Amino acid sequence: MMKNSILNLCKVAILAVFVSCSSETEEIPEVRKAATDPFNGTTSDKTGTSERNPGPGGGVMMQAFYWDVPAGGTWYNTIKSKIADWDAAGISAIWLPPVSKAQNGPFSMGYDPADYFDLGEYNQHGSVETRFGSKAELLSLINTAHNNNIQVYADIVLNHNSGGDLEANPYTGTNTYTDFDPASGKFYRSASDFHPNANVYNDEGIFGGFPDLSHSQPYVQDWLWNRSDGVGKYYKNTIGFDGWRFDYVKGFGGWVVREWNYNVGGFSVGEYWDGNAQKLQDWVNSTNRTSSAFDFACYYRMDEAFDGNNLNILASGDMLWKRDAAKAVTFVTNHDTDVIWDKMHAYAYIMTHEGYPTVFYSDYEEWLDKDKLNNLIWIHRNKAVGSTSILYADNDEYVAKRNGSPGLVVYLNDSNNWVERWVETNWSNTVIKDYTGNSNWEPTTQSGKWVKIQCPPNSYTIWSPK
């Protein structure tokens, strides 16, 4: 969703210090990344790694930007410089901000799109480059990512356009900013391509007063997903994007994403900003299950659990990953919203549970302990396999296991004391260890698969066979 700063509001960045117990962690072996399928291994019992299989637990996405990244056309090169390190850490895909030229040109974060085919090569809207760089720099970044077996997802803004010229609008009887004459020479738009028009008065939503693109118009459909030189196929087949993050999908019907995915292909996740898991599931179904959705229900339940000191919510709360793990993209924060203060517990949760976990750039590069995040990424890719069983929950403690092979048991402790608990695992007569290094115990499970595990104050442990 577009940030309020586009509407000339200020964003206040709130930073916090997050504390958890730490000690040495196991050396993290090199792991190969997914070439096409980020969910490969999410609920299977596959072992081994390859380009098609990024470890048995599946891939991890990096949101490769935050709101108001430095202007000046340097961001693509900044991300490119980090690709090798992210590759080594186990990142399998990166999500970029909108790449096309927007109304605010060199100052825009891209959520006010004007010319979908100007990726930083035409002098319009105040600059040649976008805020993030030139088309050549974008292509170099994508090429570098692909050489490291990292997928690249484009942020696609289809609901609205901005930066058109004023014209007489016969459908409103007023003058509207709906005359788009792009420098790229592609996808000219006029009043008939927006709402209202001769065929359709409105769709599901208007954002920020911007001209609302009418996806029901055949001309618009052609330029977005049907034409071989249209937006979707140009981004995928020429520029090299592997998938899509669809912005503000509440603003149009799920059929739009369905048609894009049928005609263009690639991974797909929608920003349906709602904490109701049923609504998220309904939206996924409205795309004929061609798209995943960000699990806002999980996001808000984690905030209630970790910041509200009530881990029972993790057991009782409804989340998309519990309903439809293969279509849930989990996250701890993003460029639009950052409400969870106890972030390390939240990352431990999403990296050990089902779904496709996302790491936020600022969390990884600036705010949190990178070594601990790398450790969780490795655990996710190598241990987090199979369905999930919740073993215990109260205000302070939460224990769950993944039932695949190798599988894991995660123990979250939100209290100020060391805690211990007997749990039933999937392993008989097996030595297990805590792969976070937060506990040095190496207990042996009983023949009946029970074992006692422990967790330090305000921390987490993650257990799997040694």
- Find out whether 58 and 356 touch, Cβ atoms under 8 Å: yes
For 311, the 3-state DSSP assignment is coil
- Find out whether 114 and 182 touch, Cβ atoms under 8 Å: yes
Q: Which residue has the tokens 């998309």?
A: 320
- Find out whether 105 and 128 touch, Cβ atoms under 8 Å: no
Select from 358, 281, 283 the least CA-distant residue to 323.
281
Measure the CA–CA gap between 382 and 399, rounded to whole angstroms. Answer: 19
- Cα-to-chain-centroid distance, residue 224: 23
Exactly one of 118, 242, 247, 434 is catalytic; which is it?
247
- Find out whether 425 and 383 touch, Cβ atoms under 8 Å: no
- Find out whether 99 and 129 touch, Cβ atoms under 8 Å: no
DSSP string, 84-102: HHHHHHT--EEEPPP-SEE
Exactly one of 112, 115, 193, 271 is catalytic; which is it?
271
Determine whether the annotation assigns residue 212 to a binding site: yes
Packing angle, helices 370-383 and 343-352, rounded to 10: 20
Q: What are phi and psi of 279, to 5 degrees?
A: -65, -35
Task: Write out the two tokens for 247.
Answer: 């912005």
Whether 271 is catalytic: yes
Buried b (16+ CB within 10 A) or exposed e, 62-97: bbbbbbebebebebbebbbebbeebbebbbbbbbbb
Whether 247 is catalytic: yes
Determine whether the annotation assigns residue 85 to a binding site: no
Q: Which residue has the tokens 């020429």?
A: 238
Q: Which residue has the tokens 């994403």?
A: 257
Catalytic residues: 247, 271
Known binding-site residue numbers: 159, 212
Known binding-site residue numbers for Ca(2+): 159, 212
